[in-house]
Chain A
Amino acid sequence: MPADPIISVEHLTAGYEGNVLMRDINFTVNRGEVFVILGGSGSGKSTLLKHMIGLYQPIAGSILIEGDDIVTAEGAARRAILNKIGVMYQSGALFGSMTLLENVRLPLEEYTALDAAAMDLIARMKLQLVGLDAFCGHMPAEISGGMQKRAAIARAMALDPMILFLDEPSAGLDPITSVELDQLILRLAKSLRITFVIVTHELASIYTVSDRVIMLDKRTKGIIAEGDPKVLRDTSDNPWVRQFFRREVAAEAA
């Protein structure tokens, strides 16, 4: 597959209040791939993600989504970029006062001119894609954490974005639910050709879903590895990268 960058992060320097977390970072995400951002706690994975979705303002650099810079875009141009992306937050961030169906309907109500029956059908199909068709009328508090994350993915997909950002999809989930979520990600990536950008440190899930990873490190404030995770595990000569992958491998064997 020829490289077709859908996101390019160029010379990004990020952090807050004089505390630089990462300096002069460059990488691209290709269309249709599952891209994983790795790193230990405090390495700035989630911060990087929040820069990529335009929540944080970088100190320097640009983040191009299909060629448009989300850092500088404003007004309608910014909304156009935001409509290309969907985000699942770590906690799900479903609106607690609305049913699952209403949660998924909300972006449709705000951005399209569809009639109520049409919006209901679309929202319901999204929920069916994540296996929650039977829970349309439930409130977020009435379903489990794994279901909440899946519902959050359904909401993120409401407007058929090209890119889905997932912040720690498997955090707080049991291994079985976490595997189911991985399967869902793979299925969506394959059938809908959605580009995924995932922040995680769940090694099992990394090997299953990712096409390419980058690894951040707080000591160098930059990217210390980039590529296929299995190749990195077997061939990287960076001790930190080896430690990250090997320790977990050893734990798995035990």
Chain B
Amino acid sequence: MSSATASGPPDAAAALTVVDAGDRRELRLSGRLDSYSIAGIWPDARAALTAAPGRLIVIDASGVDYCDGGGIAMLIDLLRQQRAASASVSLFGLRPQFHALLDQFDPAAMRVPVEQPGARINVIAEIGRAAAITGRDMRAQVAFIGETAAALWYAARHPARVRWKDVWYTCEQVGVNALPIVALISFLLGIILAFQAAVPMRQFGAELFVADLVGLSILRELGPLMTAILLAGRSGAAFAAEIGTMKVNEELNALTTMGLDPVRFLVVTRILAALLMMPLLALFADLIGILGGALTMITFNIPIASFLHEVDSLVDVKDLLAGLAKTPVFAILIAGIGCLRGLQTQTGASAVGISATRAVVSGIILLVVVDGIYAFVYYLLDI
């Protein structure tokens, strides 16, 4: 037999005939009753039953060639209907081997509706729950900051005990592998900045000052910030997913029972790698961004040499350092929050995804907050 249909061997399809004889109604079933073929007759059979509430119902199943669990379910459905004694439903003619299947079930028990878990939403309870969760989360963050700081301090005093192999490996993941995307985004940023500024400034013959605008904004602000956002999207999410998967696989429990601190083992290496790579990536982003601006200005008849000279004359090393000074803090934030979300992973298939999402979202929020604080402090200190 090599049938290519999804409905099994080609027996006679399921069929239903309703015959009214005096005060009783006969439902004659025939053919093959399986999950695929009964879909056509099940609603009709149920309708025939409910349309005759006062009559005796007899189901004649002597014409049934084959009956699987689906067919049995249909018979149970018809037999379980709540009816008056004078209008009961009875069944005859079902072959013994199928009747044995039917006997495993009690139609009366199937009348009781399935208990679904309560899905009602109480606004006040939800607000309370959200507040409690937020409170717990903040506590966890404070505790995590403490643990991480202790572990980093330990690492600083015992550099030999840091797992440098893991650090270098993570450096490659976080730093080297991020170069293409960082280059792409910062190059685009330089082009867009330069072009958007050059068009209005040309009206005043001030195209040359685009160089200052691009140089300052990329070095002080956008280079480090865009790199940090990319890092949050790439590596923050990756840290959360890696550690989350390890948690789901009980690898974290294994570390703990071996007496190894997951924070020292997993978090410190990742924070160190991010700390090492983030300033380099930001510097790289600065260079590529300015290059993008310079190339754009060629189309406005400003040679690269003049562009760079203009950048050099106005932009100071101080500006470069002001930008780069943010990167260690960004790195600790992103790597830390990624690891924290990973450690907080719950069980289940969607848990790792949720952790990665939360790592990116909280990472970016913290970046914005910290960058604002930096801007304020720089303003006060007149840097």
Contacts and interface: CB of A to CB of B under 8 A. Distances in A.
A159 interface: yes
Contact of A111 (B2, B35, B110): B35
B105 interface: yes
Contacts of B70: 112, 114, 122, 159-160
Interface stretch (A72-80, A166-174, A204-212, A234-242): A72-80
A137 B116 contact: yes
B103 to A, nearest CB: 9
Interface centre among B68, B101, B114 (most CB of A within 10 A): B114
B73 A79 contact: no
Interface stretch (A34-42, A124-132, A176-184): A124-132
B1 interface: yes
B66 to A, nearest CB: 10
Contacts of A113: 36, 39-40
B77 A111 contact: no
B117 A125 contact: no
Contacts of B42: 114-115, 118
A114 B45 CA distance: 13
Interface in A78-132: 79-80, 83, 95-97, 99, 101, 108, 111-115, 117-118, 120-122, 124-126, 128-129
A178 B8 CA distance: 33
Interface string A63-77: 000111000000011
A118 B110 contact: no
B73 A96 contact: no
Contacts of B38: 114, 118
A111 B7 CA distance: 10
A10 B117 CA distance: 49
Contacts, number: 96
Contacts of B76: 121, 125
A146 B347 CA distance: 18
Interface centre among B4, B117, B349 (most CB of A within 10 A): B4
Nearest to A69: B2
B104 interface: yes
B291 interface: no
B33 to A, nearest CB: 11
A48 interface: no
B320 interface: no
A193 B104 CA distance: 14
B114 A136 contact: yes
A251 B151 CA distance: 49
Contact of A68 (B2, B6, B68): B2
Given A83-B6, A112-B70, A160-B35, A120 B114 contact: yes
Contact of A125 (B34, B73, B349, B350): B73
Given A125-B105, A125-B110, A137-B117, A157 B4 contact: no
A118 B36 contact: no
Interface string B64-84: 000011101110110000000
A115 B43 contact: yes
A79 B6 contact: yes
B4 A114 contact: no
A72 to B, nearest CB: 12
B301 interface: no
Contacts of B347: 96, 141
A83 B109 CA distance: 29
Interface in B344-383: 347-350
Contacts of B69: 122, 125-126, 157, 160, 192
A231 B38 CA distance: 45
A121 B117 CA distance: 18
A66 B4 CA distance: 12
Interface in B21-44: 34-36, 38-40, 42-43
Given A122-B35, A137-B117, A160-B34, A80 B73 contact: no
B101 A67 contact: no
Nearest to B67: A160
Contacts of A66: 1
A144 interface: no
A66 B114 CA distance: 37
A134 B39 CA distance: 26
A191 interface: yes
Interface centre among B34, B69, B72 (most CB of A within 10 A): B69
Given A77-B4, A136-B115, A192-B69, A124 B110 contact: yes
Contacts of A111: 6, 35-36
A80 B35 contact: no
Contacts of A76: 4-6
A151 to B, nearest CB: 14
A80 B6 contact: yes
Nearest to A122: B73
Query: Across chains A and B, which 10 residue pairs bring their CB atoms closest together, nearest first?
Result: A113-B39, A160-B68, A96-B348, A122-B73, A160-B69, A136-B114, A77-B4, A137-B116, A114-B39, A96-B349
Given A66-B1, A77-B4, 20 more contacts: A95-B349, A96-B348, A101-B114, A111-B36, A112-B70, A114-B38, A114-B39, A118-B77, A125-B73, A126-B69, A129-B104, A133-B109, A134-B115, A137-B114, A137-B115, A137-B117, A141-B348, A160-B34, A191-B100, A192-B69
Interface of A: 66-68, 76-77, 79-80, 83, 95-97, 99, 101, 108, 111-115, 117-118, 120-122, 124-126, 128-129, 133-134, 136-138, 141, 157, 159-160, 191-192
18 contacts: A67-B1, A76-B4, A76-B6, A77-B4, A83-B6, A111-B6, A112-B39, A113-B40, A114-B70, A118-B42, A121-B110, A122-B70, A125-B73, A128-B105, A137-B117, A160-B70, A192-B69, A192-B101
Interface of B: 1-6, 8, 34-36, 38-40, 42-43, 68-70, 72-74, 76-77, 100-101, 104-105, 109-110, 114-117, 347-350
